[in-house]
Homo-oligomer: A and B are copies of this chain.
C-alpha cells in the first residue's frame, strides 16, 4: 500500500468530514430541498405523506450533493443541476421504499419503515410515483446525454435488485458476484450522480469519465463500509445501530468472507442464521466473534480502501479546486466511519 493510505489510516481519518462538501453546495441544496418538497405534491393525499416521511427522515443526501459539486467544479452556470440532483435523490428514495418491501424491513434510519405505517402496497406505488417524477424532472432539464445516463442507471439498479433476489440467502455467493450486485444496486447511482454534473456543464470526456469513475468507486466503498458498520466496523462493538443485516439474514461481504474462511461448524451457524432465521442477540454476539476471528470486518474495510484509492486516482485529471478537495475528503470520511 502507498504512503497515502498510511496517512489516511492515521491522521486524516479522524478529521475527515463531509462538511466541506456541504458548505460548497449549501445554497444549491436549499433549492434542491425546496424542489424535492414541491415535487412530492399530489392530489392523492397519501403520496406527499409517505414521501415526506422518508424525505424528512434525515439522510445525508450525499448523492445530490455530489451532483451539485460535480456540476459546480466543471463551471456549470445554469439551473439544471438543481433539477438533476433532486431527480437523483428521488431515484434513491424510490429504491429505499421498494427495498424495505422486498427485505420486509421494519425500520429505516431508526424510524418505522414507511411500509409499517402505510403498508407494502403504498410503499411500492409511492416509490413508483417518485421514480416517475424523477424521470419527468430529468426530461425537464432537456439534456439527452444526462437523461441517457440516469435512465440507464435506473435500469441497472432494478437489475441489481433482481440479481440480489437471486443471490439472497445464498452463502456460496462469490465476492465477484456480490460486487456485481452492489455495483448495480449502489454504485450505479453514485456514478450517475457524479457524471451528470460534468455532462450538463459540457465538460471534456476526460472529466466526465473521471467523475463517473469517482462515483462508481465511491459507491462500492460506501456500500462495503456500510456492510462493515452494520457489524460495528473495525472496532467491532455493536452499538444501537448495528446488527440489522444479521437480523434480516442479509448476506453481505463480511459474512461471505467469514463463511468462506470458516469451519464446517461455523458455516452451519451462518446457514442457521441466514436460511433458518436464527438471529437472536446471543447469536449476533457469536456472529461478531466469528467475523473478528477471520478478520472479515477489517478485510471488508481493506477491500473498501482499494476502491477509495481508485476513486481518489480517478479525480487525478481534474484541476485542483476546493471542490476536488471536498470530494476527496468524502472518500476519507467514508472509510473513517468504520475506523
Please list the residues of chain A having a beta carbon within 8 angstroms of any beta carbon in chain B: 1-4, 172, 174-177, 205-206, 209-210, 212-213, 216-217, 257, 259-261, 295, 298-299, 302-303, 306, 309-310, 313-314, 316-317
A310 cross-chain contacts in B, Cβ below 8 A = 175-176, 303
A313 cross-chain contacts in B, Cβ below 8 A = 175, 257, 260-261
Query: What would 12 A/B residue contacts be, using CB atoms closer than 8 Å?
Result: A2-B295, A2-B302, A3-B295, A172-B317, A175-B213, A175-B310, A176-B212, A259-B317, A260-B316, A261-B313, A299-B309, A303-B309
Asked if A172 and B206 make an inter-chain contact with CB atoms under 8 angstroms apart, the answer reads: yes
A216 cross-chain contacts in B, Cβ below 8 A = 176
A209 cross-chain contacts in B, Cβ below 8 A = 172, 174, 177
Max chain B C-beta neighbours (<10 A), residue from A1, A212, A299 = A1
Asked if A314 and B2 make an inter-chain contact with CB atoms under 8 angstroms apart, the answer reads: no
Q: Which of B2, B4, B174, B206 contacts A210 (CB 8 A)?
A: B174
Chain B residue, CB-CB nearest to A5: B302
> Nearest chain B CB to A186's CB is how many angstroms away?
15
> Nearest chain B CB to A112's CB is how many angstroms away?
37
A261 cross-chain contacts in B, Cβ below 8 A = 313, 316
Known contacts A176-B217, A257-B313, A299-B309; 6 additional CB pairs below 8 A are A2-B295, A2-B299, A4-B295, A172-B317, A260-B317, A303-B310
Q: Which of B1, B177, B314 contacts A174 (CB 8 A)?
A: B314
Chain B residue, CB-CB nearest to A267: B317
Q: Which of B2, B3, B175, B314 contacts A175 (CB 8 A)?
A: B314
Bound: A209/B176 CA distance, A? 9
Bound: A236/B239 CA distance, A? 46
Asked if A299 and B1 make an inter-chain contact with CB atoms under 8 angstroms apart, the answer reads: yes
A299 cross-chain contacts in B, Cβ below 8 A = 1-2, 309
8 closest A-B pairs by CB: A260-B316, A172-B206, A174-B213, A2-B295, A306-B306, A176-B213, A2-B299, A1-B302
Bound: A2/B303 CA distance, A? 10
> Nearest chain B CB to A189's CB is how many angstroms away?
16
Bound: A302/B306 CA distance, A? 9
> Nearest chain B CB to A266's CB is how many angstroms away?
11
Bound: A260/B4 CA distance, A? 14
> A302-B2, A306-B306 given as contacts; is B217 within 8 A of A314 (CB)?
no
> Nearest chain B CB to A230's CB is how many angstroms away?
19
A260 cross-chain contacts in B, Cβ below 8 A = 313-314, 316-317
> Nearest chain B CB to A101's CB is how many angstroms away?
29
